[in-house]
Amino acid sequence: MKISDLKTYVLGTAWRNLTFVEVRTDDGLVGVGEVRMLNHTDALLGYFAEAVPNHILGSDPFDIEDLVRRMFRNDYARAGEIAMSAISTVEMACWDIVGKALNQPVYRLLGGATRDRIKAYANGWYTVERTPEEFHAAAKRVIAKGYRAMKLDPFGAGFYELDRQEQLRSISLVEAVRDAVGPDVDILVEMHGRFNPATAIEIARLLEPYQPGWLEEPVPPENLAALKKAAEQIRIPIATGERIHARHEYRELFELQAADVIQPDITHFGGILETKKLAAWADAYYVLVAPHNVGGPVSTAANLHLAACTTNFKIQEHFNDFAEEFVKAAAPGNPEVVDGYFTLPSGPGLGVVLDHDVLAAHPRRQIFFNLFAENWHRRQAERPESSEVVGSPTR
């Protein structure tokens, strides 16, 4: 069996373009992969223009390790977000093909199930006004959807520090959510790498009464010494890792013991098997794994298969119950969240199939999503005017 073709399709939504990849073989099997590239879709498509003839065509989809190795090493460059995302989509598509060829779900090919259900948390649900009343009502809707855990970034466009008024406003939103859901629901607080260590430590102290399950990316991800400085004085578990794209970049994080939960993104990290290897490494440091998942249905499927067979898995992020209905319809087949959990995914392969009619009905959009813009949490992205200079004082 050889890979004979690779096709890409971009699905447009209000705030994210989702790139789907179909890998086709010479005997008719088709595997699917997916990634959400934040404002970098053209870079991904450009990478594929060269990588498909250089590395992918003619490869045996069963030889996943070799294909990933060649894509990672043979361009003689340090693989970052673009290359690792491309590798990820092809890797998960190959696992889909292998599962279909063997008539097995992917998780059974990676060691088999270690649990009979997969805990989920909701994200993307707080697209409302930044008031305690609106966040309270939105949190109630999450519970009504069947979730028992949810994540929010209440900090607006904050960067490095918050003035006193914004600090109190942000804390009030978390207070409102805790009041809405009661003591038994997990609340996870996202910081998106916004703060310097002193600010992160102060905000963490103010959040303690509301018992968040973790603080995510309290400081920018480039400086792990700063993360350790914050973590040493924060009494809430620290989660991070969605913007780390290669295995060796986790070495310093583990050695510093600066995080309690890691959040690799399968779609940016080289795929399912690479993330499972990282999880095994994390287990040696007693660190849990809660994969970042801001993608659509194929990304979710890959995450569910990883969760099913990973012993130190903690909880799975999910956006698509609070997105446009057509996102899940683009590749149906995933289980739904019931009483806070997914059931195990079914196969063969990843268990989802692209619906090309849905993809055609929702083409790519010209959008720019900026988490440091006012009202970013509404998740209604727009492309800036061509006359504006990104980063200028007027933006």
Active site residues: 192, 292
> 79 to each of 76, 144, 265, 322, how far by Cα in Å?
9, 42, 15, 33
Closest CA to 368 of 85, 38, 45: 38
Handedness of CA 153, 271, 224, 313 (dihedral sign): positive
Distance CA 43, CA 84 (A): 12
Tokens of 132: 């305690």
- What DSSP assignment string belongs to 217-245? --S-TT-HHHHHHHHTT--S-EEE-TT--
Show Cβ contacts of residue 94 under 8 Å, excluding neighbours closer than 6 positions. Answer: 23, 31, 61, 62, 64, 67
Tokens of 312: 């130190």
Handedness of CA 126, 211, 344, 111 (dihedral sign): positive
**Residue 30: helix, strand or coil by DSSP?**
strand
